[in-house]
Amino acid sequence: MPSRPWRAAATALATVLLVGSVAACGNSDTGDAGNDGKIVLGFSQVGAESGWRTANTTSIKESAAAAGIELKFDDAQQKQENQIKAIRNFIQQKVDVIAFSPVVESGWDTVLKEAKDADIPVILTDRSVDSADKSLYKTFIGSDFVKEGRLAGEWLVEQKKGASGPVNIVELQGTTGSAPANDRKKGFAEATAANPNLKIIASQSGDFTRAGGKQVMEQFLKANPKIDVLFAHNDDMGLGALEAITAAGKVPGKDITIITIDAVKDGMQALADGKFNFIAECSPLLGPQLMDLAKKAHDGEQVAPRIETEETTFTQDQAKAALPNRKY
């Protein structure tokens, strides 16, 4: 039998070991980010360039609160270097899960590898990356941007099927190098190739912003006396272009057919008012699904590698009917 002082020392040592192991468990379960046992999600957002982005940010913040997930939110202001810095900060803070909407498609392998080496699962939301190594991220949740461009192009082909002469199209592209700009351009070009009368006479980036859309449309109008169609990669650029078109003495929706993507409230209002002619929807309401995926990724559950958002299209009459219940 050990003596009393020896027994007291052994008890003290056991207590220290027990407390130490509980603390270690706590760290691996919740990260070092500090919380009340909640999952910690580090999210790097593209920026605040459009109505779509604002609605997406709201959806993510509200869903995190509703799901009891601690959200560390970072706004990258449309800069890839800011996103890389934010992701490295999240890794350093040992968050449980990292999610981000990549501003451009290329250049992510190194930082994604750092997250993988730190054993932190990564979820891509809204936009994807062009990394060949798919093991660098768990899943990608978002729209099929090629399909959106194709739906926009197919609608135009149908509208102009009786056209006898050339139909001049100008295109306002999204942020250069971003997945939605690359893919929407591709889908639209593929669909409109069905009618050789449809010609894209000018195509330039308006960076997904209203100001960019207005400024580039002004240049298009100055350089091209005959513009029949505007295809804008999002509502905001289309809304900016409306100002340029009106200032040039033309009637939007009549003199120039306007097709956009997103279907945010302001875009839907312009469609219902007859200023836009067609919108292919892109839903920003990704928050609830993202939180569900974050929980699964944290718990080591299997998730599908690609989750596609359900979407539709709107004509002017459909916009009038849908507007009263539009959430964003």
Binding site for ligand AHR (CB under 6 A): 49-50, 52-53, 126-127, 180, 208, 234, 236, 261-262, 282
Minimum distance from CB of 212 to ligand AHR (Å)? Answer: 11
Identify the burial level of 279 via C-beta atoms within 10 angstroms of its C-beta, where 0-12 means exposed, 13-18 middle and 19 or more buried: buried
Closer of 31 and 240 to ligand AHR (Cβ):
240
The answer for 182, left when phi > 0, alpha when psi is -120 to 50, beta otherwise, is alpha
Closer of 31 and 213 to ligand AHR (Cβ):
213
Closer of 31 and 140 to ligand AHR (Cβ):
140
Minimum distance from CB of 264 to ligand AHR (Å)? Answer: 8
Q: Which of these, 203, 207, 205, lies nearest to 227 by C-alpha position?
A: 203
Burial code (b: 16+ CB inside 10 Å, e: under 16) for 286-297 equals: bbebbbebbbbb
Minimum distance from CB of 183 to ligand AHR (Å)? Answer: 10
Minimum distance from CB of 197 to ligand AHR (Å)? Answer: 28
In the block, tokens 């002619």 appear at 277
Residue 89 to residue 111: CA distance in whole angstroms: 11
- φ, ψ (nearest 5 deg) of residue 177: 85, -5
DSSP 168: E
Neighbouring residues of 85: CB distance < 8 A, sequence distance ≥ 6: none
Closer of 208 and 231 to ligand AHR (Cβ):
208
- φ, ψ (nearest 5 deg) of residue 171: -125, 130
What is the distance, to the nearest Å, from the Cα of residue 272 to the centroid of all Cα atoms in its chain? 25
Closer of 52 and 108 to ligand AHR (Cβ):
52
Minimum distance from CB of 296 to ligand AHR (Å)? Answer: 23
Minimum distance from CB of 101 to ligand AHR (Å)? Answer: 7
Asked whether the beta carbons of 155 and 117 are under 8 A apart, the reply is: no
Neighbouring residues of 107: CB distance < 8 A, sequence distance ≥ 6: 80
Minimum distance from CB of 313 to ligand AHR (Å)? Answer: 14
CA distances from 68 to 32, 50, 123, 256 (A): 17, 27, 18, 48
Closer of 127 and 138 to ligand AHR (Cβ):
127
Token pair of 260, please? 């956009």
Q: Which of these, 86, 84, 144, lies nearest to 108 by C-alpha position?
A: 84
Closer of 114 and 243 to ligand AHR (Cβ):
243
Minimum distance from CB of 196 to ligand AHR (Å)? Answer: 29
What is the amino acid identity at position 73?
A: F
